[in-house]
Amino acid sequence: MHLFGADLEHAKRDGADLTGANLTFANLTGAIVGVPTLTGVVWSHTICPDGTFSDSDGGTCVGHGN
């Protein structure tokens, strides 16, 4: 799944299966992601749901959701 540069701001994705998703440059600000499956996700220059940046959060948005 390639979501490169996707704008998912305020999207509701409860329990989404994001296995292997490429979220490079994606904007997830305010998105409700619930408890998604995150195996193999690429977080590069991604804005996390809480507004922080994946590059500043150890290269991930895990633990920085809503």
Residue pair 31/13 in contact (Cβ under 8 Å)? The answer is yes
pLDDT confidence band for 8 (50 / 70 / 90): confident
- What is the C-alpha separation between 23 and 21, in angstroms, rounded? 6
pLDDT by residue (tens digit) across 17-63?
A: 778 888 899 888 888 766 567 788 888 999 988 899 999 989 988 88
pLDDT given at position 14 = 65
Tell me: pLDDT of 66 over 60: no
Parse the chain into domains and list their residue ranges.
1-58
pLDDT given at position 31 = 80
User: Taking Cα atoms as reference points, which of 18, 17, 31, 23 lies closest to residue 4?
Assistant: 23
The CA-based angle 22-38-24, given to 5 degrees, is 20
